[in-house]
Amino acid sequence: MRDITILQAFNVLRYEVGQRYVSHYDSFNPAEYGPQQSQRIASFLLYLSDVDEGGETMFAFENGSNMDIGYDYKSCIGLKVRPRKGDGLLFYSLLPNGTIDETSLHGSCPVVKGEKWVATKWIRDRSK
């Protein structure tokens, strides 16, 4: 397990109808982004609003599929977490050995009706 020393400030996002967040990892791959002083090891999402329809946080690997550039967000197939005001979602981005957990690939389904407010806090490991 890695030492946790840095808790970033909450990042608040608002999604309107049709808006989504494309698939991504919260950790940074050193092969793409170079060496990191510290790494995001976990993410905590706090849902600040109910959403009438859509807006789920989605993990595509639930069915072994992949959310790449051709992923159809309208189908939003995978493990979905419905945003409910006051609920929180914690997930890890790294494996215990410090490599990226491929199953942490996630995104947000489009909001169909209403709006979505979410606050994200990234938990980082100790600076190198």
Token output for 88: 């929180």
11 pLDDT above the threshold of 90: yes
Looking at residue 23, its pLDDT comes to 82
Residues sharing a CB contact under 8 Å with residue 73, sequence separation 6 or more, in sequence order: 20, 107, 109, 110
Strand, coil or helix: 74: coil
Instruction: Please give the pLDDT value at position 74.
Output: 67
- The strand pairing partners of 90, in sequence order, are 44
Q: Is residue 125 a contact partner of residue 2, using CB atoms and an 8 Å limit? A: yes
Higher pLDDT, 87 or 74: 87
Convert the pLDDT of each residue in 90-122 to its tens digit: 999 998 888 888 888 888 999 999 999 999 999
Q: Tell me the β-bridge partners of 45.
A: 89, 120
Q: What is the pTM of this model?
A: 0.83
In a 10 Å sphere around its CB, with 0-12 CB exposed, 13-18 middle and 19+ buried, how is residue 88 labelled? exposed
Structural domains of the chain, ranges and CATH numbers in brackets = 4-125 (2.60.120.620)
Report d(CA 122, CA 106) in Å as an integer. 14
pLDDT, one tens digit per residue, over 13-72 is 999 999 998 888 888 877 777 777 778 899 999 999 999 999 999 887 755 555 565 666
Q: Give the mean pLDDT of the chain.
A: 84
Task: Give pLDDT tens digits for 37-51.
Answer: 778 899 999 999 999
